[in-house]
Chains A and B, each alone.
Chain A
Amino acid sequence: EVQLVESGGGLVQPGRSLRLSCTASGFTFGDYAMSWVRQAPGKGLEWVGFIRSKAYGGTTEYAASVKGRFTISRDDSKSIAYLQMNSLKTEDTAVYYCTRDSTKTRFWGQGTLVTVSS
């Protein structure tokens, strides 16, 4: 059974940094791209970015709203994907979901809430 578990969310002040983790199980982690999707309170889904598998270069893509501030990385030996978030803004407040794949995605984590507030 595929499982994705996010962790690392919490309350952070504007301008500070936070790193989210996504621990995966139930599949060969290194074979798949991993994505992050967020949802602000009461709002719709916003794709944040993804990291390709090493077979496809391990490269990353980001939404314009986070490019230059957020970095996605992966540790295939631990089956963990990371979302490093720097220079956080109040508008980054959202539930952050980890998902498998970079296109349609059938596997989602339960989400972790990030609140950016002073």
Chain B
Amino acid sequence: DIQMTQSPSSLSASVGDRVTITCRASQGISNSLAWYQQKPGKAPKLLLYAASRLESGVPSRFSGSGSGTDYTLTISSLQPEDFATYYCQQYYSTPTFGQGTRLEIK
């Protein structure tokens, strides 16, 4: 199985900040990577797929990049509704998730 290592595990930031979350795969995944946002008590929401493709309806302040084994999610200017937990997921082979990044208000 492909292991996904996500960092940091938690992050404190302020409204308006730019934040970056990283995800490293244990082997190359050819951009077969998705990012999800999850709020307490809710199902995850797909934000990006194919490493950098923005899901319909997701604000453009969310962006993704990377290649090979290393990928990043960037939120360009944090909004109050962005404080949540974020997960990466590879689907190059049988899917696996990163352990999550909890984004908290500073």
CB within 8 Å of B: which residues of A?
35, 44-47, 50, 61, 63-64, 97, 102-106, 108-111
Contacts and interface: CB of A to CB of B under 8 A. Distances in A.
Given A44-B87, A63-B94, A109 B1 contact: no
Most B-side CB within 10 Å, residue of A47, A102, A103, A104: A104
Interface residues of B, number: 21
- Chain A contact residues: helix, strand, loop or mixed: loop
Given A44-B97, A45-B100, A47-B94, A104 B1 contact: no
B96 interface: yes
B22 interface: no
B72 to A, nearest CB: 17
Most A-side CB within 10 Å, residue of B32, B95, B98: B95
Nearest to B100: A44
Contact of B44 (A35, A45, A64): A45
Given A106-B46, A109-B43, A110-B43, A46 B97 contact: yes
Contacts of B34: 103-105
B89 interface: yes
